[in-house]
Amino acid sequence: MLDYKFTNELGQRVSLSDFQGQALAVTFFFTRCPIPDYCPRLAKNFQEASARLSRITGGPTNWHFLSVSFDTEFDSPRVLKAYGEMYHYDPAHWSFLTGSAESVGELARLSDVKFEREAGSFNHNFRTLIIDAAGHLQMVFPTGGDLSSAMVDEILKAAAVANPSLEHASRSAPSPQQRAVAKGPAR
């Protein structure tokens, strides 16, 4: 994955490399989406999947969900945080990201996500990417709908992928994302 810089819902600067060693699910959305089966369904998938993953006794902890907004003009960190709270998100495992229109557009293009502004809204397709803990694309869900169970299955497989360069470091120090979440918003 390319190492773009974004700002999360807590106002913190993050890079995609901050999630190294974690299984990722990445999707694209916008908070003002009016169609329940579109962006709100994508968020509900992440909500349901994160709840299931968190309940697995002895389950992996090296997973993170990234919801990337392509409405970079409206979806500020404050708006993204309020949206995340509607879905009872846990910032230790789910981030809402915004950034420059160029960075979001390039990441979307590389993910085969197409979007265009249309009458005050966006017309877009769906893609939820699963990236394994070694940073390799494992799976792409090209549709919307209820994918939460399938996402849990894929994240479990993706989290189990060994990343030898991180194995020792993960036992001895918190990840950059854990440090960022613990530190709170940048001031």
pTM of the model: 0.83
Three-state secondary-structure class, residue 131: strand
pLDDT surpasses 80 at 1 = no
| Rounded Cα gap, residues 2 and 16, in angstroms | 7
> What pLDDT, in 10s, does the model give residues 127-165?
899 999 999 999 999 887 899 999 999 999 999 996 544
> What pLDDT, in 10s, does the model give residues 2-59?
678 999 999 999 998 999 999 999 998 989 988 878 888 999 999 999 999 999 999 9
What Rg do the C-alpha atoms of the chain give, in angstroms? 15
pLDDT at residue 163, rounded to an integer: 54
Contact predicate 150/38, CB 8 Å: no
Contact predicate 70/108, CB 8 Å: yes
| Rounded Cα gap, residues 105 and 154, in angstroms | 26
Say how far residue 108 (Cα) sits from the centre of its chain.
13
Q: Once rounded to an integer, what is the mean pLDDT over residues 107-121?
A: 82
Beta strand extents in 40-104 (DSSP E only): 63-69, 94-98
pLDDT at residue 123, rounded to an integer: 67
Q: What Å distances lie between residue 92 and 123, 148, 182, CA to CA? A: 30, 19, 9
Q: All domains of the chain, ordered by start, with CATH?
A: 5-163 (3.40.30.10)
pLDDT at residue 143, rounded to an integer: 80
Q: What Å distances lie between residue 151 and 50, 132, 145, CA to CA? A: 9, 12, 12
Contact predicate 29/67, CB 8 Å: yes
